[in-house]
Amino acid sequence: MNLEIDDDVEWYFEERTLDRPDRGCWEWEGSFHGNYGIAYIQNKKVGAHRLSWMLHKGPIPKGLWVLHKCDNTSCIRPSHLFLGDNDDNMADMLLKGRGRYREHLGAETAEQIISFFIEGASISDLAEAFDCSVRAIRDVINRRTYRSRKILGYDPPI
Ligand SMILES: [Zn+2]
């Protein structure tokens, strides 16, 4: 889904962007769904990083994902984003998931699942990507098992 970019959209984006020179990232200051910024534009809900891509780089080709190079899910800096296909997306999710496990992957993974769901991933694709049951994905999406040990089949450290 692409948006029509006009002055209002640019203004909306700029009003909600915080430059963080200490991190090199631009942080989203608008609404959030989990760790991912969300923009409400033209009666549509769109990921803030996707909005950033559309504003600065142009339309997102169908079937491609906007992914983070910087591992900061609230980052919307265009140079920290890249387009990937579904395989890149799944690889990226899994890589980041593994990397974060020792800290607090339970919640992080749930956020990722929710974010990818919002962006159009099917429940069955998510179940496959995260190696868990369709039921577990549904539970995450319904926020029932936010810190569930079901998510990747292990106990969260908290
Ligand atoms: Zn960044």
Token pair for 157: 């450290």
108 vs 83: which has the higher pLDDT: 83
20 C-alpha to center of ligand 1: Å? Answer: 9
Sort 77 into a burial class: Cβ within 10 Å, 0-12 / 13-18 / 19+.
buried
Q: Are the CB atoms for 66 and 53 separated by under 8 Å?
A: yes
Least confident of 9-23, 77-91, 108-122, 139-153: 139-153
State the pairing for strand pair 81-84/25-28. Answer: unpaired
Interval 23-35: pLDDT, tens? 789 999 999 887 7
Interval 113-144: pLDDT, tens? 877 887 778 888 887 777 777 877 787 777 65
53 C-alpha to center of ligand 1: Å? Answer: 13
Residues with Cβ < 8 Å from 22, sequence gap 6 or more? none
pLDDT class of 69 with cuts at 50, 70, 90: confident
Q: Please state the φ and ψ torsions of residue 132, each to the nearest 5 degrees.
A: -145, 180
d(CA 30, CA 123): 27
Amino acid at 31: S
25 C-alpha to center of ligand 1: Å? Answer: 4
Amino acid at 155: D
Question: Residues within 5 Å of ion ligand 1 by Cβ?
Answer: 25, 70, 72, 75, 77, 80
97 C-alpha to center of ligand 1: Å? Answer: 17
State the pairing for strand pair 65-68/44-47. Answer: unpaired
22 C-alpha to center of ligand 1: Å? Answer: 11
d(CA 17, CA 15): 6
Task: Name the one residue in this structure whose structure tokens are 């409400």.
Answer: 40
In the predicted structure, residue 22 carries a pLDDT above the cut 80: no
What distances in angstroms separate CA 17 from CA 28, 45, 58, one per listed residue? Answer: 5, 17, 18
In the predicted structure, residue 95 carries a pLDDT above the cut 80: no
134 C-alpha to center of ligand 1: Å? Answer: 31
